[in-house]
Amino acid sequence: DQQVKQNSPSLSVQEGRISILNCDYTNSMFDYFLWYKKYPAEGPTFLISISSIKDKNEDGRFTVFLNKSAKHLSLHIVPSQPGDSAVYFCAASSLQGGSEKLVFGKGTKLTVNP
């Protein structure tokens, strides 16, 4: 039951360029979306979130875009830095549905090359 899908298992970009990580979801009840970064042997680190009432949220180098009609969101990292190399997880919840549990995608491993 893949309610949250990250179809690219890996992505490689050059330092200074833009990284675009994509996420699709199938459950129309999802109304809150988050991106997490995870290094090996560590827990997921919260990056940025977006509510379904918005289509964009920006925090420094990180911007999340939400396209509700397409049930698609993306995370843009500009400019990318070698320290951004990690696994990025998309997660969703249905707050209006009374559920705060996060449903995660499988993750995309980002490698930023110097």
> What is the per-residue binding string for other proteins in 2-41, x denoting contact by CB under 8 A?
------------------------------x-x-x----x
- Of residues 9, 54, 95, 113, which one binds other proteins by CB under 8 A? 95
- Of residues 30, 85, 105, 108, which one binds other proteins by CB under 8 A? 105
- Of residues 7, 26, 96, 99, which one binds other proteins by CB under 8 A? 99
Q: Transcribe the chain into DSSP letters.
A: --SEE---SEEEEETTS-EEEEEEE--TT--EEEEEEE-TTS--EEEEEEETT-SEEEETTEEEEEETTTTEEEEEESS--GGG-EEEEEEEEETTTTEEEEEE---EEEEEE-
> Taking the complex as a whole, how short is the minimal distance between the CB of residue 17 and other proteins, in angstroms?
28
Return residues touching other proteins (CB under 8 A).
32, 34, 36, 41-46, 49, 89, 91, 93, 95, 99-107
